[in-house]
Amino acid sequence: MVFHMKTTLMIDDGVMKRLRQEAARRGTTISALVEGALRLFLESRARPAPSLPPLPSFDGGGAAVDISDRDALYRAMEGR
């Protein structure tokens, strides 16, 4: 036995217009589109996020100036 629940949703007018157009283009109902979108969203949330490769690292060569030394900073900015 299959049950369907009738639900009221508050949808932005612009989104609703696009939803109507898409339903007409596909020859389906707004309800079917919304249900399909919700199913996709919920299924994507159930899957674990893919693992990403580690970020690249590099040797920046160390500090060129001690940032706590104001005079050294000024000299470095002036190119002396």
- Tell me what pLDDT residue 25 has: 96
In a domain, 28, yes or no: yes
Q: Per-residue pLDDT tens for 21-68?
A: 999 999 999 999 999 999 999 988 777 777 889 988 888 888 888 889
Domain that holds residue 40: 12-47
Among the listed residues 35, 31, 4, 8, the one whose alpha carbon sits nearest the alpha carbon of residue 20: 31
In a domain, 65, yes or no: no
In a domain, 18, yes or no: yes
- Tell me what pLDDT residue 63 has: 81
In a domain, 32, yes or no: yes
pLDDT confidence band for 80 (50 / 70 / 90): low
Tokens of residue 54, six digits: 């580690």
Q: How far is C-alpha 12 from the geometric centre of its chain's CA atoms?
A: 20
Whether the per-residue pLDDT at 10 is higher than 80: the answer is: yes
In a domain, 63, yes or no: no
- Tell me what pLDDT residue 64 has: 80
**How many structural domains are present in the chain?**
1
In a domain, 26, yes or no: yes
